């Protein structure tokens, strides 16, 4: 699907066993706890989010006891976004981050909601339109690894609970940095590594025993929520992700843990 605008706005064979193992590692990536061919991950992730799109907000409330709404408000509230800014929200899903941003950019700013999954994007567009949020919002189906925007297009780029599902996270971070204006900020809100051991055991129990059952009960899809729990554990922890942002070209990189490290906000600037 091409960008849709609302009112106001869009190798050769290896010879040694060592080389063969290296090539195998390069050609596969993780999908939850499974290794899959790199070329297949995007399709598999797409199937998951097409399946959960209609119940995504309900399941977020059930899985996090509603705390995800506080995380997102804090994420936007500390983003530094101001009136007149042009913002790109990647993996924008059902539009909750975009709605919070839209209120802050004012009439002279704009928010582009981007998502690789067409079904998630349609759900987000319809829900925001039903709420009367149409001005200063644009929608576009994009791959975070290859953004169709010129260099230095945005004052702020955000991605919330989406980076862990990207096949090549390093490439996506580099693209986020590329499309930022000089002085612009990139922000990542994502599940991270729980630091307290006792809390981590409780969190694991909730993730692997309760979440799939909730998914089956309320969305008829336990497998997708099993993947989502597994994908969190395969996501880079705090320090690793900060280093990845630095390697992608961001400066002044830092992170802040929320709720004991269940999630973290990573930030960096383009200079």
Structural fold of domain 67-193+236-269: Rossmann fold (3.40.50)
Q: Which residues contact 226 (CB under 8 A, 6 or more apart)?
A: 32, 208, 211, 212, 215
Q: Which residues of the chain have pLDDT under 50?
A: 1-25
pLDDT at 32: 63
The DSSP bridge partners found for residue 205 are none
pLDDT at 4: 38
Q: Are 159 and 266 in contact (CB under 8 A)?
A: no
pLDDT at 56: 66
At 221-249, the pLDDT tens digits run: 778 778 778 888 889 999 999 999 999 99
Candidates 204, 179, 184; CA nearest to 193 is 204
| b/e code 48-77 from CB counts within 10 Å (16+ = b) | bbebbbebbbebbebbbeeebeebbeebbe
pLDDT at 6: 38
| b/e code 78-105 from CB counts within 10 Å (16+ = b) | ebebeeebbbbbbbbbbbbbbbbbbebb
Compute how many other C-beta atoms are within 10 angstroms of the C-beta atom of residue 192: 26
pLDDT at 225: 76
pLDDT at 49: 59
pLDDT at 213: 84
Q: Are 185 and 116 in contact (CB under 8 A)?
A: no
pTM of the model: 0.79
Q: Write down the domain spans for the chain.
A: 67-193+236-269
Q: Which residues contact 271 (CB under 8 A, 6 or more apart)?
A: 182, 183, 251, 252
């Amino acid at each position: 699907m091409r960008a849709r605008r609302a009112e106001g706005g869009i190798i050769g064979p290896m010879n040694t066993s060592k080389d063969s193992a290296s090539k195998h590692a390069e050609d596969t990536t993780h999908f939850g706890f499974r290794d899959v061919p790199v070329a297949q991950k995007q399709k598999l992730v797409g199937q998951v989010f097409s399946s959960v799109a209609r119940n995504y907000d309900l399941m977020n409330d059930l899985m996090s006891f509603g705390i995800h709404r506080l995380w997102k408000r804090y994420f936007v509230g500390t983003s530094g976004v101001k009136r007149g800014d042009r913002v790109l929200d990647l993996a924008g899903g059902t539009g909750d981050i975009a709605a919070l941003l839209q209120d802050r950019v004012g009439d002279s700013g704009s928010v582009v909601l981007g998502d690789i999954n067409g079904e998630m994007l349609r759900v987000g567009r319809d829900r925001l339109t039903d709420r009367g949020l149409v001005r200063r919002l644009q929608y576009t189906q994009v791959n975070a690894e290859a953004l169709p925007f010129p260099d230095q297009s945005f004052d702020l780029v955000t991605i919330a609970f989406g980076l862990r599902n990207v096949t090549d996270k390093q490439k996506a971070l580099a693209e986020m940095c590329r499309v930022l204006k000089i002085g612009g900020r990139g922000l990542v809100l994502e599940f991270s590594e729980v630091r307290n051991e006792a809390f981590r055991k409780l969190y694991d129990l909730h993730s692997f025993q309760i979440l799939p059952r909730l998914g089956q009960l309320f969305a008829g899809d336990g497998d997708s929520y099993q993947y989502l729990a597994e994908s969190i554990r395969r996501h880079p922890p705090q320090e690793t992700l900060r280093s990845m942002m630095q390697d992608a070209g961001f400066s002044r990189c830092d992170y802040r843990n929320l709720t004991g490290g269940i999630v973290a906000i990573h930030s960096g600037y383009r200079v």
